[in-house]
């Protein structure tokens, strides 16, 4: 417990709260975009690798937010993985096009997670 408290004290709580908020928003946007816009558009928007990436990004963001909220001591590793998936998802959404909200929140979430990952 002491170690978790020391770790939490080292992290800017405002930065942590922003990251949690961005992860939760990224989860909502990716899931909503995949399940509504992409399914309605069809074609390239629902190709299995792309669609799986969007769902994995949504789930990873939700899991990362939960991890941060729980005070888990090794959150840096989770944040590093989340940042990687979010960057990949943003690039994929940008390539397909017409999903600016998804691209923007994925990039913002990745940046916040990178700041908390501390090179993990």
Interval 91-103: pLDDT, tens: 999 999 999 999 9
CA 71 to chain CA centroid, nearest Å: 17
3-class SS string, the chain: CHHHHHHHHHCCHHHHHHHHHHHHHHHHHHHHHHHHHHHHHCHHHHCHHHHHHHHHHHHHHHHHHHHHHHCCCCHHHHHHHHHHHHHHHHHHHHHHCCCHHHHHHHHHHHHHHHHHHCCC
Interval 9-53: pLDDT, tens: 455 689 999 999 999 999 999 999 999 999 999 999 999 999 999
Q: Hey, what domains does the chain have and what are their CATH numbers?
A: 13-117 (1.20.1270.360)
């Amino acid at each position: 417990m002491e170690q978790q408290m020391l770790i939490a004290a080292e992290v800017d709580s405002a930065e942590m709260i922003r990251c949690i908020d961005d992860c939760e928003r990224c989860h909502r946007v990716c899931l909503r975009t995949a399940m509504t816009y992409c399914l309605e558009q069809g074609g390239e928007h629902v190709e299995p690798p792309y669609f799986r990436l969007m769902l994995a990004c949504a789930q990873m963001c939700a899991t990362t937010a939960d991890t941060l909220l729980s005070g888990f001591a090794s959150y840096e590793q989770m944040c590093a993985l989340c940042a990687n998936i979010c960057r990949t998802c943003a690039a994929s959404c940008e390539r397909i096009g017409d999903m600016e909200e998804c691209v923007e929140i994925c990039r913002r979430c990745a940046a916040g997670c990178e700041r908390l990952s501390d090179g993990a």
